[in-house]
Amino acid sequence: MFSTMLLMFFGMPLGGPLEESPHASKPTPPSSEASVRDVLDQAERVAASLESWTRPALYRTENDLTGDSVLRTGWISWRRTQDNVTVGLLLEWEVVDRARRKKVKDFILKGPFLWEVEHEGKLRIKRRLSTDDSATTLGALGRGPLPLPIGMSADAVLAKFTVTEGAQPDIGVLAKIQDERVRYLRFTPKDGTPAADEMDHAVVAYMADGLPRGVRVERLNGDVREGRFDPLREGQSPPLDLNQRMNPETAPREGWTIQEPVD
């Protein structure tokens, strides 16, 4: 099943606050097991035939303890080569209190490994994700930048999560989506699964074709991670170094600090 993870939105309105209401979400529509399964099946089908997918992304984190909130803009990219899937969240700019500064940072998920790449400090960190099955699961990515059920079948998702019809959040980056065709599903991890130790729930927004439109994750410690993946606008294109950044394993090493797990 396909649903994902996160440049520059030069025309992005920054004047309005991201959180416009104290309420968590709009009223939830009646839940239908059949309709939920239909969305999951459609997402699984599109992932099975998808070779590449790249979209502009907004990525926002909120620290419950300090109240700090940071918004970043960049790209999300999905690549499949035979049975190998790579997902990249390529961040370009950081926006704090309407001030924007260049801060290039990448998260690359490939197989059981997550690369974290700090371009400013020339640091690449490779981590092996601890999970009960595959790195490309909602639970595993809960330990990374953005949890999404990437590459999971509908049956695998339903075995690990209680999935119900959700509602568009009234706060955060998903509140800005203006498309009545988007469906929102709520994922609550089942007891005993890896995700149950990390997150309270996630709301995933799906386009009608099964591709992801965004996700909001509320963690057990109160922190929030969320991303929105917008359609390409006229004249907008991914960064020229996209391919190189999607493959940190083969990137130049001279002048960089590389940290890799010990086998």
pLDDT digits (tens, 9 = 90+) for 124-158: 999 887 655 544 455 444 455 666 666 678 898 89
In 3D, which of 14, 5, 77 has the Cα closest to residue 239? 77
* 157-191: pLDDT as tens digits: 898 899 999 999 999 999 999 999 999 999 998 99
* 221-238: pLDDT as tens digits: 999 999 999 998 888 899
Q: Is 13 contained in some domain?
A: no
Q: Is 29 contained in some domain?
A: no
Q: Is 139 contained in some domain?
A: yes
Q: Is 195 contained in some domain?
A: yes
Q: Is 235 contained in some domain?
A: yes
CATH number (domain holding residue 59): 2.50.20.10
Return the SS3 of 76.
Answer: strand
Instruction: Residue 162: give the domain boundaries.
Output: 41-259
* pTM reported for the whole predicted model: 0.80
Residues in a beta bridge with 60: 71, 226
Q: Is 9 contained in some domain?
A: no
Return the SS3 of 47.
Answer: helix
Tell me what the mean pLDDT of segment 81-99 comes to. Answer: 86
pLDDT of 110 over the 80 cut = yes
Number of domains in the chain: 1
Residue with tokens 């493959």: 247
Q: Is 106 contained in some domain?
A: yes
Q: Which residues contact 138 (CB under 8 A, 6 or more apart)?
A: 147, 148, 149, 152, 157, 160, 161, 187, 189, 195, 202
Q: Is 8 contained in some domain?
A: no
